[in-house]
């Protein structure tokens, strides 16, 4: 389409997503030139000029100005700390069962009773996920497991808060228990102990289970992260809780979100093999340093610090401990502090878990937070999210 094409005032207003009178304000300020066309009394504007103005104004304007705000009573990040319903998470994590924290997120109640699921649901979910190809990741099983759990629940379309809160423990239990086992029987019926069996063949220790439980607590929610937004948008359409969790799992699978843990795990592997400076240099060469820094915590991620303290209490072999310490020290020279992704990767190495562990821990933990947000979203008007598109293509052509 020719750059000399002329647009009317209304066409310019539509293109810039402004009111027609604002177009004339741009003219008076010298930001846009009018073109006089012989025989016409209206103003017209060159397409090329409008496109240049659009690139300047819309690059700094929020694209979501027409969307309602997402408000939550679940999680607050303030003063460099993370809080679940007012409680400091880093202080809770070392000694509070994940089950208790999950119920606190869902209903403001602190009860540590175990999570259980129907044996038939677990068995069907396990069999269904067993049909995945051999190269499938452990994380790949989770969407299959959730889909089977949904199909087995005839009340999944009942969106009442009490119903959603009641199904959540069984969903989390199924997500863990339907995964293939790697070790011996769990030492107790906690979700952390049962998850341990799916991630490592090493015997569970008190310190190891304490650290894994803490990781689940620390990752249970994080305000409006990308995957949580996906969950809330799905819930706003009144998708059932299982379908909303599936939306979250899809977003979590991105390499810039939940899947970043694998990159951090590989970085620690590289540090063990080549040394911390070489491992960090290679990360920067490939585009960035995973596992360090967080925009919401300029002074350091309290989740990472809390979990690393617990990892330090584990009987870590000397080379791994040196590699982790050297990575932290080397990154600190660039004012980069370890975040929770680094701490989870360090935990995975220390306990014999593989590179897939971080993403699975993240997904299991965050499902608790997603359920809390689902409950909140069902209380809001349905279909309330509709963003402006910020169209940048060619203007429509009259027939």
Cα-based angle 238, 243, 248 (whole degrees, multiple of 5):
105
Set 49, 222, 341, 373: catalytic member: 341
Set 83, 294, 349, 373: catalytic member: 294
Q: Which residues are paired to 27 by β-bridges?
A: none
Q: How far apart are CA 338 and CA 299, in angstroms?
A: 11
Tell me if residue 140 is catalytic.
no
Contact 35, 46 (CB under 8 A): yes
Tell me if residue 83 is catalytic.
no
Contacts of residue 392, defined as CB under 8 A and 6 or more positions apart, other chains included, come to: 54
Burial class of residue 197 in the structure, from the number of CB atoms within 10 Å of its CB (0-12 exposed, 13-18 middle, 19+ buried): buried
> What are φ and ψ of residue 69, in 5° steps?
-75, 145
Scored b (16 or more CB within 10 A) or e, 320-332 reads bbebbebbbebbe
DSSP characters over 358-399: HHHHHHHHHHHHHHHHHHHHHTSPTT---------SPPP---
Cα distances (angstroms) measured from residue 14 to each of 18, 313, 380, 399? 7, 61, 30, 19
Contact 305, 91 (CB under 8 A): no
State the catalytic residues: 294, 341
């Amino acid at each position: 389409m020719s750059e000399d094409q002329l647009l009317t005032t209304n066409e310019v207003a539509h293109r810039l997503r402004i009111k027609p009178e604002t177009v004339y304000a741009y003219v008076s300020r010298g930001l846009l030139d009018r073109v006089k066309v012989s025989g016409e009394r209206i103003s017209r504007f060159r397409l090329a000029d409008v496109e240049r103005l659009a690139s300047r104004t819309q690059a700094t304007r929020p694209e979501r100005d027409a969307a309602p705000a997402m408000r939550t009573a679940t999680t607050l990040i303030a003063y460099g700390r993370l809080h679940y319903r007012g409680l400091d998470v880093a202080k809770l994590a070392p000694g509070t069962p994940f089950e208790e924290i999950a119920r606190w997120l869902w209903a403001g109640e602190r009860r540590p009773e175990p999570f259980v699921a129907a044996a038939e649901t677990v068995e069907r979910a396990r069999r269904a996920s067993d049909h995945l190809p051999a190269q499938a990741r452990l994380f790949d099983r989770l969407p299959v497991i959730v889909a089977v759990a949904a199909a087995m629940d005839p009340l999944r379309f009942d969106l009442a808060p009490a119903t959603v809160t009641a199904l959540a423990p069984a969903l989390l239990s199924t997500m863990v228990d339907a995964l293939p086992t790697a070790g011996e029987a769990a030492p107790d019926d906690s979700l952390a102990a049962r998850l341990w069996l799916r991630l490592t063949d090493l015997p569970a220790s008190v310190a190891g289970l304490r650290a894994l439980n803490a990781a689940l607590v620390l990752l249970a929610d994080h305000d409006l992260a990308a995957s949580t937004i996906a969950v809330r948008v799905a819930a706003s359409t009144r998708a059932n809780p299982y379908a909303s969790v599936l939306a979250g799992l899809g977003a979590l699978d991105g390499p810039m979100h939940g899947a970043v843990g694998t990159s951090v795990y590989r970085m620690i592997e590289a540090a063990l093999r080549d040394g911390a400076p070489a491992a960090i240099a290679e990360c920067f060469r490939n585009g960035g340093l995973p596992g360090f820094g967080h925009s919401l915590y300029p002074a350091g991620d309290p989740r990472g610090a809390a979990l690393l303290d617990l990892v330090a209490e584990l009987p870590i072999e000397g080379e791994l401990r040196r590699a982790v310490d050297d990575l932290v020290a080397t990154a600190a020279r660039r004012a980069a502090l370890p975040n929770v992704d680094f701490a989870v990767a360090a935990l995975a190495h220390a306990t014999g878990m593989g590179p897939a562990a971080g993403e699975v821990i993240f997904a299991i933990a965050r499902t608790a937070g997603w359920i809390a947000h689902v409950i909140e979203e069902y209380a809001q008007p349905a279909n309330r999210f509709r963003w402006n598109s910020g169209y940048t293509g060619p203007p429509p052509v009259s027939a």
